[in-house]
Structure 1
Amino acid sequence: MVPPRTLTLSTFLLQIALFVHASFVLPPPSSLPKPDDYSRPQRSNCHQSPVHLPLYRRTRPRMKGSRSRAARELVPMMGAIGLGDVQDVTYNVLVQMGGSDLPLVLDTGSADLWVLSTDCISPNASATAPPTCNASAPIYSPTTFQPTGLNATLLYGDSLTGTHAIGPIGFDAAGIAQLSASNQYFAAVPQGGTNTSILQTGSSGIFGLGFPINSIIWNQILSSRFPTSKRTLSARAPTDFATRHFPDLSFLRNSSNLKRGARSRASSLPTVSDVLDTFIPYGPLVPRLGLTAPIAAVTLQRDTVQVGGNAGMLSLGALPPAVRADNMTWVPLRAYTPAEGGLPAPTDSPHEVYPMAWEVPVDDVFFDGHKLPRSNLSAPNITLSALIDTGSSYIRGPQDVVEAMSNVLGGQTYPCAHSHNLTFQIGGVLFPVDPRDFGSQAYEDSTEDCVPSVVATDPPANNGSGFLYSWNLGDPFLKGVLAAFYYGNLTYPSQDSPRMGFLSTVPPDAGEQLGAAVSSASASLLATSDPAPSGTPSAAVTDAQGVPQARPSIVSGDTSSGATAAPSLDVALWHASACAVWTALWMV
């Protein structure tokens, strides 16, 4: 054995390479794209090509120059950053906008980026009573804001809980987790321009992780580029703020269907290819970061009932280092055909269908061991699916199914110490909601009664004018999983299909831990908050599946969870080791 002090640099790098190689492994071909898919450019931008870190391939992308130059140019782009948590109601992350570090709500249910600005308006302001704006969180100073002359009206929620934010669209430099993009389009919403409660939760805006098609800002910019197109999206610029946003793509033409005589009359209308060319320059932030792999992974910490669970973290470009992709359950996203309101296929790939959102198929839903009936409020031809939504503090489902759950509970409340099991079967695997996250305290001065964190939502649309999902799986579900959001190839999804991966982290004794937490509480269950950190949590503990933990999930005398100590790994070491492996393999 070589003494530690005599290790050479090459030996050290080899150990790092072996560590990363063992930590990042490819799942079976049915779970993630084939190795050849990773070398396929996304349009013409090599740095946007979906190249996955595990590097089991030996094929090389079509790049000019020597092999060493290719190795230099394809430096892995990845990062990770911790999440803030306001009593499990809102999870936020620090995003750099211009010269400001802003805590923004992490929202996989939407696709737009907006921030509160120092500008101030008030609907009740007058000459004698000027508007007063006292932001309690950091806000964006628009000194470097480049306005476009366009405005965005951003809609959230559903007909029961609709909220909005309205502000000018412009661009500025943006960054997150030491990754950055220039000329990022977003909305600078003046104080008073939103009825959301983000300021009350210490946030300064919303950071949407969705697809360009579902971005209102992208739609507005596209409309401005083709001003004579008959857009219904901008025409319905909402006065009805309780309307779930769904993009209108009916204005698109497909050049293969144009007659020669009609081409001149329709020349001002965009083709599908025109639209695809706008995804990267005008779309959401994450796909513009040039990530090593087109993936974002999210774990949410628990700050109520029993603090701990998963470490709150957003990983970009790779899974957390100790998590194996082949241990996860991977499922495709729902793709929307043109008849369902989706994007038509381009002429050079006529069979393409595109996802709208992070919407996954659901096999069945179970409550306390019994399969719940399918809703009678949606058409029988609509398959069951769910939106995966970090921006929602509830689980939302069909009204009649939620009422059936209430009947099982025996009313609107239930004893807090009683463990209930709400489980979603996805990809043939059962994913339970942790009993500690199923409900919340009903009354401030008593831990006797709780209310379920499950509420009713709108039924799916069936006429091409709305989303088709029946369930919205928000934070109560996501606190019990590691969720991976794989964008794939945005423009040609058949080449690298978008999908989601799930890994359940609910311990087998979660019900017992709930009972212990309730019995040890006095008048109120535990609730705390964590501000959004500027760096990555250094996880000293992972669970048996490699998921970083906020703190050991083992209660006194219990070792059943399989939690294991692991070396602290910060993002700098993670990035450095990945770069070493990447360069070494490309130089072979």
Structure 2
Amino acid sequence: MWRYLGIFSLILASSVFRTAACQSIPLFRVPKQQPASPPSLFSSNVSVSDVNGFAYLARMDIGAQNFLVLLDTGSSDLWIVSSGCTEDDCSNVPKYQPTPTLDLSPTAFELRYLLGEVSGVIGTETVGLGRFEVLSQVFALANQTAGLGLAATGNSGILGLSFPTEAAIPDTSGRTLLENLVSSLAEPDRYFAVRLGRDSGGSSFTVGELDPAYSDSLSDFAFSDVYSAGHAAYDYWKVPLHAITVNGTSFDVSDSRVPRAPSPIAIFDTGTTLILGPSADVDRLWQSIGGARKTDSGWQVRCDRAMVIGMVLGAGDGAKEYAIDPADLSWLEGGRDGDWCMGGIQSNDDVSSGDWLLGDTFLRNVYIVHHLGNSTQHPMVGLNGLTDPQTSLANFRLARGNDPTPPAPVLGKVTHHRYAISEGAICGISAAGGFVFGGVLTVVISACVARRAAKY
């Protein structure tokens, strides 16, 4: 699966870059637990606590020291815990020790999270990812962390893979690691691909090539331009969402609240566990699915509720329906309360850069390519559906038993007022958010995940 090719050198603006022509990097799925979050900040959302989750980690070297970092397509910075971090939050994880190749900047680094925070300084160091190596790569050394629960997962930091406009480290300090990685490749190969598995061995992260275990040709993917409003800079990996299907019947989603967007906008994020959408749509969706109940802590669904849900995503000829495995919607791994499981789709009205946030419960059903664009084309997202709806439904029934609940009618779209955008409010369960660390599940959804306040 992991192929190592010859190394060559390339001079960049402030870095010397050595890399294989293409590269596959091992990706690990690990369970995570973290203390419960505080109550919801928004009336349309409920807070995160008592929910199981998983983090997807990649291994990398910084200053010849090896670390596991959270793979996050919803942020843009690379940061790592430094030896100066003595907080309980960063205890028992590997910490960066200064080396002769470290060059510190006087620029301070600080990210405030709705659930936790990180602060430190900015520097440059030799960074290795697989067989890639970047000299003088800018990154942040975290001297203080709080509320991130790093020790629970074992990751020492975050590798952000979104667009540089969302980086907290100023561009005057240097280019993001992603920019440096892809700029060394031929223009057609300036992409990375991610496959999130359902077990510890089924994940993949490649740069400049595909994993042949899932696809050997870009022609297998339906590509769409990354959505950007007018001449605005690209911020996140996002495309239009045209409709959701419930057991083959179209379910119309609400109009977008993103300025000038012709349809609702979906953001792809490996750092978020669930699918999050407008509360009015999510309520109507679960009512259309049936066998579900809304509690004070979010939507639950019967653990044997069999359903076929699809999402029609993409722009123009790239629009296509992608099926979601019912095991990701009646999410047993999220915990259960008797016959009830956590719903894999939950409410959020404060994703200001989009309308829907597609986390791991969606991304486990596709192989996704993130192409940063080149001199002739815009940045693009390519999706290759991996879930066959009938096969997944049969496997679900085999594992969970027969579903006695009768089908429910699919409810039509209701005109409603979306809550005002609260800048920086991210709600959902992220790999850095809160998860179960106790007995019976109380299903809850996050008001605040451990991410930068300005995100989305």
Aligned sequence identity (%): 24
| Equivalent residues in 2 for 1:263-278, closer than 5 Å | none
- Deviation string, structure 1 residues 197-242 (Cα, Å, up to 9, x no partner): 33311211110111111211135x46xxxxxxxxxxxxxxxxxxxx
Q: Do the aligned partners of residues 455 and 142 (structure 1) sit closer, same or farther apart at CA in structure 2, a change above 3 Å counting?
A: farther
Q: Do the aligned partners of residues 477 and 443 (structure 1) sit closer, same or farther apart at CA in structure 2, a change above 3 Å counting?
A: closer
Q: Which residue of 2 aligns with 1:349?
A: none
1:510 match: secondary structure:
helix
Whether contact under 8 Å (1:441, 1:447) holds in the other structure is: no
Q: Which residue of 2 aligns with 1:497?
A: 378
User: How many Å separate the matches in 2 of 1:208 and 1:442?
Assistant: 26
Q: Does 1:518 align with 2:400?
A: yes
The alpha carbon displacement at 1:459 in A equals 4.2
User: How many Å separate the matches in 2 of 1:193 and 1:44?
Assistant: 31
- Deviation string, structure 1 residues 547-587 (Cα, Å, up to 9, x no partner): xxxxxxxxxxxxxxxxxxxxxxxxxxxxxxxxxxxxxxxxx
- Deviation string, structure 1 residues 74-97 (Cα, Å, up to 9, x no partner): x96111022111246110000111
The alpha carbon displacement at 1:115 in A equals 1.0
Q: Which residue of 2 aligns with 1:148?
A: 105
Number of positions where the alignment pairs a residue of Structure 1 with one of Structure 2: 352
Whether contact under 8 Å (1:174, 1:184) holds in the other structure is: yes
What is the TM-score with the length of structure 2 in the denominator? Answer: 0.69
User: How many Å separate the matches in 2 of 1:444 and 1:424?
Assistant: 25
Q: Do the aligned partners of residues 472 and 182 (structure 1) sit closer, same or farther apart at CA in structure 2, a change above 3 Å counting?
A: same
Q: Which runs of 5+ in 1 are unaligned?
A: 1-19, 21-41, 49-72, 123-131, 223-281, 343-353, 462-466, 521-588
Q: Which residue of 1 aligns with 2:391?
A: 509
The alpha carbon displacement at 1:357 in A equals 1.7
Q: Which residue of 2 aligns with 1:245?
A: none
AA matched with 1:437:
D
Whether contact under 8 Å (1:369, 1:421) holds in the other structure is: yes
Structure with higher strand content: 2
Whether contact under 8 Å (1:118, 1:139) holds in the other structure is: yes
- Deviation string, structure 1 residues 1-54 (Cα, Å, up to 9, x no partner): xxxxxxxxxxxxxxxxxxx9xxxxxxxxxxxxxxxxxxxxx9999x99xxxxxx
Q: Does 1:386 align with 2:266?
A: yes
Whether contact under 8 Å (1:377, 1:398) holds in the other structure is: no
Q: Does 1:360 align with 2:242?
A: no
Q: Which residue of 2 aligns with 1:372?
A: 251
AA matched with 2:166:
N
Instruction: Return the match for 2:364 from 470, 479, 483.
Output: 479
What is the TM-score with the length of structure 1 in the denominator? Answer: 0.55
The alpha carbon displacement at 1:112 in A equals 0.7
The alpha carbon displacement at 1:359 in A equals 1.2
Q: Which residue of 1 aligns with 2:355?
A: 470
User: How many Å separate the matches in 2 of 1:444 and 1:284?
Assistant: 37
AA matched with 2:22:
M
AA matched with 2:364:
K
Q: Which residue of 2 aligns with 1:232?
A: none
AA matched with 2:131:
Q
| Equivalent residues in 2 for 1:85-164, closer than 5 Å | 85-87=29-31, 89-122=54-87, 135-144=91-100, 145-154=102-111, 162-164=115-117
Q: Which residue of 1 aligns with 2:432?
A: none
| Equivalent residues in 2 for 1:36-435, closer than 5 Å | 77-87=21-31, 89-122=54-87, 135-144=91-100, 145-154=102-111, 162-190=115-143, 192-219=144-171, 221=172, 282-289=174-181, 290-292=184-186, 293-303=189-199, 311-321=202-212, 322-338=215-231, 342=232, 354-375=233-254, 378=257, 381-382=260-261, 383-408=263-288, 409=290, 410-411=292-293, 412-426=299-313, 427-435=318-326
User: How many Å separate the matches in 2 of 1:364 and 1:176?
Assistant: 38
- Deviation string, structure 1 residues 451-481 (Cα, Å, up to 9, x no partner): 11222223465xxxxx2x1111111111111
User: How many Å separate the matches in 1 of 2:89 and 2:300?
Assistant: 38
Structure ID, larger Rg: 1
AA matched with 2:265:
S
2:339 match: secondary structure:
strand
Q: Do the aligned partners of residues 443 and 328 (structure 1) sit closer, same or farther apart at CA in structure 2, a change above 3 Å counting?
A: closer
What do you get for the CA RMSD once the two structures are aligned?
3.2
AA matched with 1:172:
E
AA matched with 1:361:
P
User: How many Å separate the matches in 1 of 2:78 and 2:323?
Assistant: 31
Whether contact under 8 Å (2:197, 2:203) holds in the other structure is: yes
AA matched with 2:366:
V
The alpha carbon displacement at 1:380 in A equals 8.0
The alpha carbon displacement at 1:162 in A equals 4.9
Q: Do the aligned partners of residues 380 and 358 (structure 1) sit closer, same or farther apart at CA in structure 2, a change above 3 Å counting?
A: closer
The alpha carbon displacement at 1:378 in A equals 2.5
User: How many Å separate the matches in 2 of 1:514 and 1:79?
Assistant: 35
Whether contact under 8 Å (1:372, 1:401) holds in the other structure is: no
Q: Which residue of 1 aligns with 2:373?
A: 488
Q: Which moved more, 1:320-329 or 1:177-186?
A: 320-329
Whether contact under 8 Å (1:291, 1:316) holds in the other structure is: no
Whether contact under 8 Å (1:377, 1:459) holds in the other structure is: no
Q: Which runs of 5+ in 2 are unaligned?
A: 4-10, 32-52, 294-298, 403-456
AA matched with 1:506:
T
Whether contact under 8 Å (1:84, 1:312) holds in the other structure is: yes
More contact order relative to length (CA 8 Å, sep ≥ 6): 2
